Amino acid sequence: MGRDFRPQDGENASKVAIINQTMAWHYPNDSPIGKRFGFKGLEARGQIEIVGVAQDSKNDSLREQTPRLVYLPFLQDELFGMTFVVRHYG
């Protein structure tokens, strides 16, 4: 749902994020697209607009409970560093 990151989502652009389905469930009766959130303790970073929702994925184990995840464009993510995710169909 929504959109993917775009080249225009650079370091000087408005902050945007894609969230996973588990996090989207915290916006009941409403689409999360266009909603804003921030990180507690990092108020100076400002509000981040949700532009997309991605499918849930498992990170460590198929048995784990799916955590709420936020994906940030690389050029806007000065806090958490880069993670590379690969999905294999087979």
pLDDT given at position 80: 65
- Consecutive 10-residue averages of pLDDT for the chain (90 residues): 92 92 87 89 80 87 85 78 66
User: Distances from the Cα of 86 to the Cαs of 17, 58, 61, 89, in angstroms?
Assistant: 19, 11, 15, 10
pLDDT given at position 36: 92
Spell out the domain ranges in the chain: 1-90
41 alpha-carbon distance from chain centroid: 18
pLDDT given at position 66: 86
pTM of the complete model: 0.79
